[in-house]
Amino acid sequence: MSFFLKDNFILESDIAEQLYFNYAQNQPIIDYHSHLSPSAVANNINFENITDAWLKGDHYKWRAMRALGIEEEYITGNASDYEKFSKWAQTVPYTIRNPLFHWTHMELKNPFGITELLNQDTARKIYDTTSEKLQSQAFSPKGLLNNFNVEMVGTTDDPLDSLEAHLKIRQDNSKVKVLPTFRPDRIFTIDSGNKFRTYVHKLGELTHIDITDLESLLQAFKIRINYFNDAGCVSSDHGLSAIPHKGKNSKTDIEKIFKEVLNGNDSKAKEIKESFTYFMLVEFCKMYHEKGWVQQFHLGALRNSNAYKVSVLGRDTGFDSVGDYKQAETLSTLLNELESDNKLSKTILYNLNPADNTVFATMTGNFQGEGVRGKVQYGSGWWFLDQLDGMTNQMNALSNQGLISTFIGMLTDSRSFLSYSRHEYFRRLLCNLFAEDIRKGYLPNDVNWIGSIISDICYHNAKKYFNLNQS
């Protein structure tokens, strides 16, 4: 069977090929939202084998294996690395029409140079070949980032993180910038009892602040924001089902119950949770604005749907799905409050439910700012939507309701150093999308002009948006 990933993969015309190979393919990658381990980059220790590099932590693959009935022992259990890989190889042929089929073979082709289909018959050979290559310096974490021409990685970091790895990478004068992203969502779990109190206590210890009220809580977070900023941070991130309702609780009400919770009384924690979260979001956003950071909001996930499996395997193991939360009103309320106070930073809005595409695309148009191209961005297709249909629909919604020419493009949102094929996937789709418009006569056949816009979307817009020339 001939290998299906030809040079013109996804590129359906000569114009698409011109756009991709001349304007998109060789642009550096600004991966402004990922879950890569900064310590893996700092220490630059080679992966033990392809299972270590590819399957550990990848809930996309885990979900596919479960759907095929593979025993958990071979997914997150204690089976050997080769046994786990073999079960994945058994699964791959059944992933046809799922993006995993494309991603898998794109990642084998680049960087490993493998142009065979992965299945049970090829599993042993591919396991041995990839695992051997992974021992070379070119396939270390830094080597892989250099291979994919990655210029910047934005990791996802809790305010309590030491950022030692980021600082080490900076001191090593690494070619790739690995910048922390401030994600303080754990503070929103005011209804989690001792877990919440423990987190607040650790925050206080770290910042040498006696946290007894909202003012001291915010003071502690400001110290951490300053620390992140000094470490090169240019962005924050929040992952929420939806922006919470502001509610009718006053700051005095929130303060009173916050103090009660700190003292061990959780009786009113649930009733104040939304108001507390909204209050903290507003205060965080004001601090981000002071620093000139970009703020990101990933909205719409229904987390931990399978309570039993989560209790056994833990969070972030593949049991989340798309939620059907109402988004427009509360999102508008938050952005409007910040805009009215002249505290609205550059903002990226990501929806997980495709039904919200036009809601989010039109919301961005309400809050654009003078002197900033695309100040409020409609973020790229995320998580369950970073596939061909999801990305196409996102770009069409953005094109119809805003300016795709100011779009900051793709991100991996991944834990794998091999996942940069997703940028190639996006870029091929982007070029084909524009080429089809040219072919149909919807756009003029001016490849240089359209190509310059594509280069901007792939690289230049994001670099300017995150002020990376200055970081």
pLDDT given for residue 2 in this prediction: 66
Is the four-CA dihedral 163, 299, 64, 111 of positive or negative sign? negative
Write out the DSSP string of 163-199. -HHHHHHHHTT-SSEEE-EE--GGGG-TTSTHHHHHH
Determine contact, residues 153/423, Cβ cutoff 8 Å.
no
Q: Can you list the positions of beta strands (E) in 328-435?
A: 346-351, 376-378
The answer to whether residue 176 scores a pLDDT higher than 80 is yes
Hey, how many other C-beta atoms are within 10 angstroms of the C-beta on 39?
Answer: 16
Measured between alpha carbons, how far is residue 76 from residues 93, 127, 312, 313, 390 in Å?
Answer: 21, 18, 11, 8, 28
Give the integer Cα–Cα distance in Å for 272 and 250.
10
**What SS3 state is found at 45?**
coil
CATH topology of domain 14-45+141-465: TIM Barrel (3.20.20)
The answer to whether residue 471 scores a pLDDT higher than 80 is no
Domain extent listing, the chain? 14-45+141-465, 46-139
Indicate the CATH number of 46-139 among 3.40.50.720, 1.10.10.10, 3.40.630.30, 1.10.2020.10. Answer: 1.10.2020.10
Q: What are the tens digits of pLDDT across the range 337-394?
A: 999 999 999 999 999 999 999 999 999 999 999 999 999 999 999 999 999 999 999 9
Q: What are the tens digits of pLDDT across the range 50-109?
A: 999 999 989 999 999 999 999 999 999 999 999 999 999 999 999 999 999 999 999 999
Q: What are the tens digits of pLDDT across the range 232-265?
A: 999 999 999 999 999 889 999 999 999 999 999 9
For 114-126, b where at least 16 C-beta lie within 10 A, e where not — what string?
Answer: beebbeeebbeeb
